[in-house]
Structure 1
């Protein structure tokens, strides 16, 4: 029975890791799409962007982990059924409950780890993410204002910029209401 459990776990771990990183990648790309206006044109160094993505990806771990567990278990049992290994196990008299036992135990361990991650690591990562994002947004504020469009981002003021020079960080034809 031990060899069977090891076989099932080995066939489960690969898809679990792969689907976890694919789901995490999709969520991080959605984050980039949302915050691309805050990041582009600021002259940020690469390590700041990597830190921002790292903090954001730690925020998405609790979202990507259940997807990875579900998809990898479907893929694992699908492959076992496709290769008739599941039929062979059932023909040997092994119940489905015993076949699923290593995955249930691993899912419990992953759930406890995810709870501890969400309880201890995630608040710190969220704090660092939002403080770094605030710092990034405050850098070169003139680049956030588009040319020829009224900008209401500053409370109590409406600003319109005629044109701006990206190289020299100069803005011209500024109207403030």
Structure 2
């Protein structure tokens, strides 16, 4: 009776190489197709901005591709699992390995190890590349594909209330006293919350006593006139610290920065269930790649000549795609407080790990 978790060194390398080649091939195919489709839908808006050309299209591709890689890497692992195991089954290699005394878990061990390496890469890639690309792309889109502020610390869709007034900005770049707002709109309202004035400015800076609107335009509702007042300070009670915690994009922050944002929101008495769930999902999300060999293992076992190989492959794909649906649903429910954040992020992984193990044991023979 073999007690080794892995098969022989040669067989482990053979299975791992076949698996990783298929992962990269499937991922490349998906990314190329999806990137082309995405670019076709967005290129018109990018080129419509003054001064944009081919260089800006390539910039968009460089920022969008990391998001696509992060999003579809687990799907690639699932499809590569199905292709690898179905091929091994079709060529009777699984039968040969089982005849040599290998168990189902030993056959899958090299694939799980490879998937674990992919999960580690996915986590590091998300934290170091995807978050920065997402922050820059989001700021660029909110700037209507014009010039992007030269900083990676950019928040978008800022919206804060001060008494009867409202401060809105498309972007907020920088931190502390050096924060700069872009695409600023300042709404003045009467005590009945009826709009009286609307101020617009392309840029606003923090003076220590409020936000200085540079070259503003003012529209007075009561007399329906537009004028150009001098630079004016507004929003005296809205500080950069409040803006920093008013708009937190979990996808644009790494796990350490997001933890700090959550702590700041909790200190301010804000609700953080959604961000807590996203924080835990930054860990459980990349781990989903490790789950795919187990869910797709149903395609490896059973005689190919029985005519059920295609059915088994479909079952494996169905289990994998069902996991992604349940994972997203649990995350959404957790954001509304239906589940504790850690449960909404990690429960689908544990549930489908048990399901995959049960299916493997039931279908091995």
Shorter-chain TM-score above 0.5: yes
Q: Deviations over 1:151-177 (max 9, x none)?
A: xxxx99xxxxxxxxxxxxxxxxxxxxx
From 48, 58, 63, the equivalent of 1:50 is 58
Question: Which position in structure 2 is the counterpart of 1:71?
Answer: 79
Matched, 1:18 2:25: yes
Native 8 Å contact 2:23 2:77 kept in 1: yes
Question: Which position in structure 1 is the counterpart of 2:132?
Answer: 124
From 29, 44, 47, the equivalent of 1:37 is 44
Offset, 1:30:
3.6
Give the count of matched residue pairs: 141
Offset, 1:48:
2.0
Offset, 1:9:
1.3
Question: Which position in structure 2 is the counterpart of 1:87?
Answer: 95
Offset, 1:131:
3.4
Distance 2:17 2:123 in 1: 24
Structure 1, 117-126 or 85-94: larger mean CA deviation: 117-126
Structure 1, 106-115 or 129-138: larger mean CA deviation: 129-138
Question: Which position in structure 2 is the counterpart of 1:159?
Answer: none
Question: Which position in structure 2 is the counterpart of 1:97?
Answer: 105
Unpaired runs of 5+ in structure 1? 140-154, 157-177
Offset, 1:79:
0.7
Question: Which protein has the bigger helix share?
Answer: 1
Offset, 1:36:
3.3
Structure 1 stretches of 4+ with a deviation exceeding 4 A read 40-43
Matched, 1:61 2:61: no
Offset, 1:133:
3.7
Distance 1:133 1:121 in 2: 18
Offset, 1:113:
1.6
Question: Which position in structure 2 is the counterpart of 1:4?
Answer: 11
Question: Which protein has the bigger strand share?
Answer: 2
Native 8 Å contact 1:52 1:133 kept in 2: no
Higher relative contact order (CA 8 A, sep 6+): 1
Unpaired runs of 5+ in structure 2? 1-7, 148-184, 186-197, 199-365
Native 8 Å contact 2:47 2:53 kept in 1: no
Native 8 Å contact 1:23 1:67 kept in 2: no
> Pairwise CA RMSD of aligned residues?
2.3
**Bigger radius of gyration among the two:** 2
* Aligned partner of residue 137 in structure 1, secondary structure: coil
Distance 2:142 2:61 in 1: 14
Per the alignment, do residues 57 and 39 of structure 1 end up closer, same or farther by CA in structure 2, a change over 3 Å counting?
same
Question: Which position in structure 2 is the counterpart of 1:168?
Answer: none
Per the alignment, do residues 137 and 121 of structure 1 end up closer, same or farther by CA in structure 2, a change over 3 Å counting?
closer
Question: Which position in structure 2 is the counterpart of 1:174?
Answer: none
From 106, 129, 133, the equivalent of 2:114 is 106
TM-score normalized by the length of structure 2: 0.36
